[in-house]
Amino acid sequence: MSEYLPGLAGVPATKSNISSIDGEKGILAYRGYNIQELAAKSTFEETALLLLDGELPTKEALDDFDQQLRGERKIKYNIREIMRNLPATGHPMEMLQTAVASLGMFYGDEEVLTESYASEDLYYVHNMSVKIIARMATIVAAWQHVRRGYDPIEPRFDLTHAENFMYMFSGLEPDPLEAKIIDACLIMHAEHTINASTFAAMVCASTLASPFLVIAAAIGTLAGPLHGGANQRVVEMLEEIGRPENVKDWLDMKLEEKEVIWGMGHREYMTKDPRAIILQKMMTEWVEKKGDLSPMFETALALEEACEEALGPKGVYPNVDYYSGILYSEMGIPSDQFTAIFAVSRIAGWMAHWREQLSDNRIFRPTQIYTGPDFRDYVPIGNR
Catalytic residue ranges = 266, 321
The Cα–Cα gap between 148 and 70 comes to: 26
Q: Are 39 and 278 in contact (CB under 8 A)?
A: yes
Alpha-carbon span 116 to 362, nearest angstrom: 9
Inter-helix orientation angle 230-241/247-256, to 10°: 120
Sheet holding 27-30, edge to edge: 19-22, 27-30, 33-34
According to DSSP, the β-strands at 27-30 and 19-22 are antiparallel
Report the C-alpha gap between 111 and 134 in whole angstroms: 16
Number of Cβ atoms within 10 Å of the Cβ of 94: 15
Helices (H) and strands (E) in the chain, counts: 16, 3
Separation of alpha carbons 319 and 38, rounded Å: 18
* Nearest CA-CA partner of 361 in 111, 101, 120, 31: 120
Closest listed residue to residue 54, CA positions, set 81, 16, 92, 82: 16
Spell out the residues 6+ positions from residue 158 whose beta carbon is closer than 8 angstroms to its own. Answer: none
Render 63-88 in DSSP notation, one character per residue.
Answer: HHHHHHHHHT----HHHHHHHHTS-T
